[in-house]
């Protein structure tokens, strides 16, 4: 009985992960190096820190990416 429950749970999770998210759940965000504003779905929002370059890498405040 326990194996049947585990197998059905695994199949359910695989089915959920195999379907793409609906278009309404997708968002876009744009960060610009040196600016303390970012754009989400066309709306500009302020940040307390600006993205910056260091050693050819871009650093962005994580709380705004999440």
pLDDT value, residue 34: 92
User: For 6-33, what is each residue's pLDDT tens digit?
Assistant: 777 666 666 666 666 566 668 888 999 9
pLDDT value, residue 29: 87
* Strand arrangement, sheet containing 37-40: 29-31, 37-40, 43-46
Domain ranges of the chain: 2-65
């Amino acid at each position: 009985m326990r194996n049947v429950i585990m197998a059905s749970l695994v199949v359910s999770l695989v089915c959920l992960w195999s379907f793409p998210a609906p278009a309404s759940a997708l968002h876009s965000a744009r960060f610009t190096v040196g600016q303390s504003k970012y754009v989400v779905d066309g709306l500009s929002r302020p940040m307390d820190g600006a993205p910056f370059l260091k050693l050819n890498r871009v650093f962005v405040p994580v709380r705004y990416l999440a």
